[in-house]
Amino acid sequence: MIRQLERPFLHPLLFAVYPIIFIYAEHQDELTPRLAIAPIILVLFLALFVLGVSNLVLRDRWKAGFFTTVFMLLFFFFNQLIVLFNSMSDFQIYRGRYKLLLFVCFLLIFFGLLWRSKRSFLPVTPALNAAALSLLGFNLIIIVSASIATSSRLPVAPEGESASIARTGPAPPDIYYVILDGYANSRTLREVVGYDNTSFEDFLRNQGFFVVPDAYANYYQTNLSLPSSLNMTLLEPSKDFIIPLRSASDTRLNQFLRKHGYRFVNPSKDWKNPNLSSDDDESVGLGDFFRSDFALTLARFSMLDPIMHRMQWYSESVRREVLYVLKKFREAPDLDLGGPKFSFIYLLPPHPPYVFGPNGEDMGQVDLGKAFDVRLSSWDNHPAYINQVEFVNNQLMEIIPEILAKYPADDPPVIVIQGDHGPTFTRSNQSDADYYRMRLGILNAYLLPRGVDSQLYDEITPVNTFPLILREYLGEDVPPLADRSYFSLFQTPFDLLDVTKSIRGEDSRAQAP
């Protein structure tokens, strides 16, 4: 065993893989294992290349192994060290060329010191190998333990959970579930950003939609609100309860729909990786690693970040993904999948990054690292937020009539358009109630044909969307839930505060954290 730990080429490969395993362990409830395969293969090739070149130059495999380990760790963490430096210093290093220059200079100096050194690095090799094995093993234990715990607690809808009521009449309708990330309700748009959304809401009403007045989400975080809606449950303030809802390979909704022969369309990568929608062979989707959020996270961590910024890869990636989803949304009615369709259409706008103008114009490069960090107040560019609201509005005002034209006029599909939560604008001088209203206020609109729209009411929240649809269209006995709204901080997402009375003007006692 001791001789195995003296191998100089072991720790460089282990430390090359470690950052990926570490990041995966931190976010495994949002990921699927196959997403880690591609980056692991790539970093192993990179580590072997650096190892081979440095061994040729240094002519010392112990030094070459030590240099490769330092190179791989800096490749992943040097950018984060600069971020830490920026947070602690008045002197800021933001430009990618300066980051790369510092990175290269440090490596050249370190390589030069190793080349000149007469010291043997054989004694430190066992320690490095042991450290790498320990770190990697610890994170693998976390991943395996969480997977076992999750699989034993997955929320499912057994066949006997609710009896299907005998159904006669029209066939099950196609269902389109459209999520607009961070789309505020008309009150927030009017009072906070000074935008009148009346024309869009009037358009929806003219198309037959019921637009919930002053609508609110159940939770103010996507990772809570969507699992709640798709599993038709109010979440308990417990991490152990919520994680399975995010990581389950199937949702309670999908299980009911599959019983009735539904096929699934999910063109969005953002909520495909956690498998919150079905991944049947007929599904339309992007599941490849290079367009996943995991890839973006790894890139932002590593020294690829300044290169990606220079190439405008981040903003182009977001634009390409959104336009792809819109294209597939238009095409969904034409798909013949052998049964009724459930189309899950997740659109990132109006959520930052702000890359779209009102008519789809390219708004240029953005710092995605900042745009996805709500603590840096990247939401607060109100004109840019309005631009993306108008972009989404304009797209839907084109697509919805196109879709409806492909169905019989007297039997259109079910279409639900919802924000998953409100915007994360920085709190100013708002009262507690107004602050909660801003962060929980959403667009919530329903096209429910065959007279089912008569069952809608002004206080309905997303958690009751699919219980209503399942009861009225598929005859499933799924009881309604309380329409409650909860607030929580990103740092403590499971510490839920019930603010229902506060946002609806019934109680002024709730205090913002």
* Calpha distance 272→253 (Å, rounded): 15
* Calpha distance 479→99 (Å, rounded): 56
Give domain status of residue 369, yes or no.
no
Would you write out the chain's pLDDT as a tens digit for each of its 513 residues?
A: 455 566 778 888 988 888 888 877 776 655 666 677 778 888 899 999 999 999 898 888 888 888 999 898 888 887 777 767 766 666 666 666 777 888 888 889 988 888 888 888 788 888 888 888 888 888 888 877 766 655 544 444 444 444 444 445 678 999 999 999 999 999 999 999 999 999 999 999 999 999 999 999 999 888 888 888 998 988 765 554 544 444 444 688 988 999 999 999 888 755 443 334 444 433 333 344 555 566 667 777 777 777 766 666 667 778 888 999 999 999 999 988 888 999 999 999 999 888 899 999 988 656 554 444 444 447 888 999 999 999 999 999 999 999 999 999 888 999 999 999 999 888 888 888 889 999 999 999 999 999 999 999 999 999 999 999 999 999 999 999 999 999 887 767 777 888 999 888 765 434 444
206 and 342 together in one domain: yes
Distances from the Cα of 31 to the Cα of 24, 76, 286, 297, angstroms: 8, 20, 14, 12
The distance of Cα 378 from the centroid of its chain, to the nearest Å, equals 17
> Would you tell me how many other CB atoms lie within 10 Å of the CB of residue 506?
9
214 and 104 together in one domain: no
Alpha-carbon dihedral angle through residues 368, 372, 377, 378, given to the nearest 10 degrees? 40
Query: Contact, 433 vs 240, CB < 8 A?
Result: no
350-356-362 Cα angle (round to 5): 165
* Calpha distance 365→144 (Å, rounded): 39
* Calpha distance 360→84 (Å, rounded): 35
Handedness of CA 389, 394, 399, 402 (dihedral sign): positive
CATH number of domain containing 475? 3.40.720.10
Give domain status of residue 433, yes or no.
yes
248 and 185 together in one domain: yes
Closest CA to 354 of 387, 309, 311: 387
127 and 191 together in one domain: no
393 and 491 together in one domain: yes
Amino acid (1-letter code) at residue 320: R
pTM of the predicted model as reported, rounded to 2 decimal places: 0.73
The distance of Cα 411 from the centroid of its chain, to the nearest Å, equals 34
Overall number of domains in the chain: 2
123 and 190 together in one domain: no
207 and 336 together in one domain: yes
The tokens of 454 are what? 């008569």
* Calpha distance 32→232 (Å, rounded): 23
Give domain status of residue 166, yes or no.
no
Q: Given 104, 136, 151, which residue is the final one in a domain?
A: 151
Q: Given 116, 151, 186, which residue is the final one in a domain?
A: 151
132 and 184 together in one domain: no
469 and 436 together in one domain: yes
102 and 192 together in one domain: no
* Calpha distance 458→456 (Å, rounded): 7
- List the domain range (segments joined by +) for residue 222: 175-288+322-357+381-503
Helix, coil or strand: residue 276? coil
91 and 127 together in one domain: yes
Query: Contact, 422 vs 182, CB < 8 A?
Result: yes
74 and 124 together in one domain: yes
pLDDT tens per residue across span 147-192: 665 554 444 444 444 444 444 567 899 999 999 999 999 999 999 9
